[in-house]
Amino acid sequence: MTDPPVEGALVDLDGTVFRGDPLIEGADDAVATLRAAGVSVLFLSNKATRRRAAFAEKLRRLGIDVDDDGIVNSALIAASYLETHHPDDPVFVVGEPPLRDELRAHGLTLTDDPEEAAVVLASMDRQFDYGTLTKALHAVDEETVFLATNPDRTCPTEGGEIPDCAGVVGAIEGVTGTDLDRYLGKPAQTAVDAALSGLDLPASRCLMVGDRLETDVRMANRAGMTSVLVLTGVTDRETLARSSIQPDYVLESIADIGQVLRGE
Amino acid sequence: MTDPPVEGALVDLDGTVFRGDPLIEGADDAVATLRAAGVSVLFLSNKATRRRAAFAEKLRRLGIDVDDDGIVNSALIAASYLETHHPDDPVFVVGEPPLRDELRAHGLTLTDDPEEAAVVLASMDRQFDYGTLTKALHAVDEETVFLATNPDRTCPTEGGEIPDCAGVVGAIEGVTGTDLDRYLGKPAQTAVDAALSGLDLPASRCLMVGDRLETDVRMANRAGMTSVLVLTGVTDRETLARSSIQPDYVLESIADIGQVLRGE
């Protein structure tokens, strides 16, 4: 057993539990293994383009029992952050409908009028175009808070990588000459705070299991969690060898999570 | 008279000679004054979204006699640069039809297939969208040369500022994690080279007249031209006072160009 004992696990989704549609073999048993060892599991994703309920439904379909509250994504992290820090500020969103829904569910006010915007929130947007960029240009000024849901460059799909949030951020930074104030998803502390408040545990008692060095592993290492890299997603051993970000554990797959619990 | 005597003048267009559609009062007489003093005039614009012939036609309509060769824009600068450095490399263009036409007129090969691209050329594109960004993501790799026609953040229009080339560059940099190799328009040396080869004069004998500190004035100062800022465009005295980039002359308008010729 690890020391201190693990009581919580934050588990990334895409590339860790499933890849595109299908389950990564043994991921269902791995979650069962964690739970059988008394470890609370929370799924933590940077993806704001999907509703948490849709994630939960997909996991259940793949044989992993979870309710909506067992999912924390960057839409929820952004909504929680804005609820705390900018509860009354009109938010101009570049993003998809599930993000807007999550923000509205937290009582936030959205605006499509650049002049009204006090916060600009950038996110992955598959409808992103010149018209949106023009509005964002006019929404960002010296008074505006400029945030992003997540720092990911690309999002893996079965048809190849597609542009994620960093494209929107880069375009807005380019035309405004204004740097992003902060992003909110992994590896930011805001993501740690959102996830640990869900588990009600200190970071030192938690694992973070994920496939990305620059988000999952970096966040865990900074926060003082035990970092577990799985090789079923975007990172291979060659990338790992060249990186300055190194995990506490490397597993071929989350299916081997028992090794971590046994401290092997 | 200035010393050494002025023999050439590079004159910016938007904000210097016209603003949107109408002529800036006295700009026609100013060009006549330069020519009467034996100064060769070349118009130098970072705008790649308009054909040179269309610029020339507009100037003639506004009372300034010029033929197509009297116009150097960033599409021509890019075409000349690629013709010299990448004559046989397939170019993936993010930009508007006039840019593509200029490149083809120089015998360059364009491609819409990201896998085929050896050069990615970014420019202002009012049709820019997620599909284009996705293609650009796959066009840029470690082998690709990544260029941009111009570094402008925004383009002034009568309806307000709209996103220029820097939005496209920022988006591509964001999703690829790859920095632009170089931009080609003002204030780059490639723009100086293209303009001076048109005039066949050394930089020290030339004026650069324009409304932007970070492009027109910076380029002139670096190249050893006499820099002349006009206040009819994007720069006001307050911006000028705060800037580290300072011109040799400040004129309310190009209409006062006689002051520079007289060395006042």
- Using a CB–CB cutoff of 8 Å, tell me whether B146 touches chain A: no
Query: With bands split at pLDDT 50, 70 and 90, how would you rate the model's confidence at B1?
Result: very low
Kindly tell me the sign of the dihedral angle through the C-alpha atoms of A154, A111, A190, A196.
negative
CATH (residue range B77-183): 3.40.50.1000
CATH (residue range A8-46+186-261): 3.40.50.1000
Helix (H/G/I), strand (E/B), else coil: B52: helix
- Using a CB–CB cutoff of 8 Å, tell me whether A239 touches chain B: no
| Domain boundary assignment for chain A | 8-46+186-261, 84-183
Q: Looking at the domain covering B8-46+187-261, what would its CATH class be?
A: alpha beta
pLDDT the model gives residue B4: 67
pLDDT tens-digit profile of B18-28? 998 899 999 99
Rounded CA gap, B235 and B227, in Å? 14
Q: Are strands A154-157 and A160-163 parallel, antiparallel or unpaired?
A: antiparallel
CATH (residue range A84-183): 3.40.50.1000
Residue A31 has pLDDT above 80, yes or no: yes
- Using a CB–CB cutoff of 8 Å, tell me whether A84 touches chain B: no
pLDDT tens-digit profile of B171-183? 999 999 999 999 9
Rounded CA gap, B158 and B20, in Å? 6
Kindly tell me the sign of the dihedral angle through the C-alpha atoms of B212, B217, B219, B220.
positive
How buried is residue A90: exposed, middle or buried, by Cβ count under 10 Å (0-12/13-18/19+)? middle
Helices (H), B106-188: 130-139, 165-176
Largest CA distance in chain A: 57
What mean pLDDT do residues A208-215 have?
96
User: A126 to chain B: nearest residue by CA?
Assistant: B130
Rounded to the nearest angstrom, the minimum Cα separation between B190 and chain A is: 22
Rounded CA gap, B45 and B155, in Å? 12
Residue B2 has pLDDT above 80, yes or no: no
pLDDT tens-digit profile of B122-165? 999 999 999 999 999 999 999 999 999 999 999 888 788 999 99
| Continuous segment of H or E residues that includes residue A34 | helix A27-36
Residue B192 has pLDDT above 50, yes or no: yes
pLDDT the model gives residue A21: 87
A-chain CB neighbours of B113 within 8 Å are none
A-chain CB neighbours of B164 within 8 Å are 175
Does B8-46+187-261 match B77-183 in CATH topology?
Answer: yes
User: What ipTM does this complex have?
Assistant: 0.93
User: A130 to chain B: nearest residue by CA?
Assistant: B128
Angle, CA of B196, B199 and B201, to the nearest 5° = 70
Phi, psi of B32 (to 5 degrees): -65, -40
Residue B80 has pLDDT above 80, yes or no: yes
C-alpha distances in Å from residue B32, one per residue of A45, A199, B54: 65, 76, 21
Query: Are B137 and A170 within 8 A, CB to CB?
Result: no
Rounded to the nearest angstrom, the minimum Cα separation between A90 and chain B is: 23
Annotated catalytic residue B256: no
- Using a CB–CB cutoff of 8 Å, tell me whether B166 touches chain A: yes
What mean pLDDT do residues B42-68 have?
97
C-alpha distances in Å from residue A11, one per residue of A191, A240, A249, B155: 13, 19, 14, 45
Residue A2 has pLDDT above 60, yes or no: no
Query: With bands split at pLDDT 50, 70 and 90, how would you rate the model's confidence at B198?
Result: confident
